[in-house]
Amino acid sequence: ETGLPIIVYVVPGRCVVNMTIDTLARLAELPRIVGIKDATGDLGRPVKTRAACGPDFIQLSGNDDTALPFLVQGGHGCISVVSNVAPKLCADMHNAWTQGDIATAQRLNMLQSPLADALFVETSPGPVKYACSLLGHGRNELRLPLVPVTKATEKAVQDAMAHAKIALPPQAKVA
């Protein structure tokens, strides 16, 4: 069978249902299904998924706040929101882990952790669009029914970006 490889998204917070490991194992038998984005936050799942689907089945965390522990449990990476704002920080954390530099991976995870929290204080993608606009990457505009984030969230995002040592360009408009 030809076609693009498929990553199954399991995001109970958005679709209100979870996918069992048994169902995932049946899907993994299909040649085009090569992996999962697991946003369950269940850090026991990577081990169970590996046992059910095999070591070549790609497992990507769907949550930035559990990306490092997901790797520890056998995951392969992360489909990340934080990487839109701090791509180097996320890549450096992943690279440190893959190189066996656990202390550096933990230190970088601590830097990005408040940002992972701040980018979900309000409904996504509002906070990440605001953060990206500060960096000069697009405008802080959303389509209804989404609305711009509150001033309190703007401050939380700015503080988290500062904690992560993300330098804002001189033209950044910080309220």
- The residues carrying an active-site annotation are 9, 37
Token reading at 137: 């990457």
User: Among all chains, which residue has been given the structure tokens 């934080």?
Assistant: 82
| Calpha distance 103→119 (Å, rounded) | 25
Among the listed residues 94, 41, 46, the one whose alpha carbon sits nearest the alpha carbon of residue 74: 46
Alpha-carbon Rg for the chain, nearest whole angstrom, is 18
- As beta bridge partners, residue 7 has 35
- Calculate the dihedral angle through the C-alpha atoms of 126, 106, 93, 6, rounding to the nearest 10 degrees: -70
The token pair at 92 is: 């450096």
Distance CA 58, CA 76 (A): 6
Q: What is the C-alpha separation between 138 and 141, in angstroms, rounded?
A: 8
